[in-house]
Amino acid sequence: MASKRLIKELDMFNREPSSAVVELATVSDEDLFHLRAVLKGPDETAYEGGLFILSISIPSNYPSSPPEIYFQTPCCHPNVNFKTGEICLDLLKTSWTPAYGVVSTLEAVQQLLSAGGEPDSPLNIDLAKLLRAGDLVGAEGLVRLYTRLYAMGR
Partner 1 sequence: MASQHQQAHHFNPQWYFYQPPGQVYHDPVYAPVDYRVQQVAPQQQTPTHQHQAFVTAAGFTALRPQQQRLPVRTRQQTRHARATMASEGQQHAGPSEDEMAEMQKLSNEYEPEVKGPLVGQRQSTNNLTTEYASADPVYQAKTTNLPQKYSHYRTVRGDGSCGWRAIAFGYFETLINLGDGNKFLEEEARLRSLMNTCTAAGYDPSLLEDFAEETYTLLRKVANGMQDGTAENALHETFNDDYVQNFIITHIRTLTAAWMKTHSQDYIPWVVGGSSIDQYCEQSVTPVSSELEHLSLNALKDVLLSPAGITLEVLYLDRSHGKEVNMHRFSPVNHGGYDIGYIRLLYRPLVMNDSFLSRSADISNRGHYDILYMPSDLPPVPVPAAVPTYLQYASQPYHEPVYDLGLPDFMTTIPGMSYANPHQAWVGSSYADSDFFGSSAPVQQCPQPIPAPAVPAPQPQMQAAPVYVPAATAHLVPPPTQMPEELVIRTVPQANVSSHQGFAPQSTGPFRPSTWQLEADMSQHTPLQTAIFRK
Query: Residue 39's closest CA among 30, 49, 31, 29?
Result: 49
> Could you tell me the smallest distance in angstroms from the CB atom of residue 121 to partner 1?
2
Contact 27, 53 (CB under 8 A): no
Stretch that binds partner 1, among 26-34, 40-48, 122-130, 140-148 (CB under 8 A): 122-130
Q: Hey, which residues between 43 and 82 contact partner 1 (CB under 8 A)?
A: 64-65, 79, 81
> Could you tell me the smallest distance in angstroms from the CB atom of residue 154 to partner 1?
27
Asked whether position 127 contacts partner 1 by CB under 8 A, the answer is no
> Residue 144's Cα: distance from chain center in Å?
17
Distance CA 5, CA 134 (A): 44
Q: Which is nearer to partner 1, 53 or 89 (CB)?
A: 89
Residue 81 to residues 10, 59, 61, 100, Cα–Cα distance (Å): 27, 21, 26, 24
Q: Hey, which residues between 3 and 22 contact partner 1 (CB under 8 A)?
A: 5, 8-9, 12
Q: Which residues are catalytic?
A: 88
Query: Residue 12's closest CA among 101, 96, 97, 92?
Result: 101
Angle formed at CA 22 by CA 34 and CA 11, multiple of 5 degrees: 60
Stretch that binds partner 1, among 18-26, 30-38, 115-123, 140-148 (CB under 8 A): 115-123
Q: Which is nearer to partner 1, 93 or 148 (CB)?
A: 93
Q: Which is nearer to partner 1, 128 or 151 (CB)?
A: 128
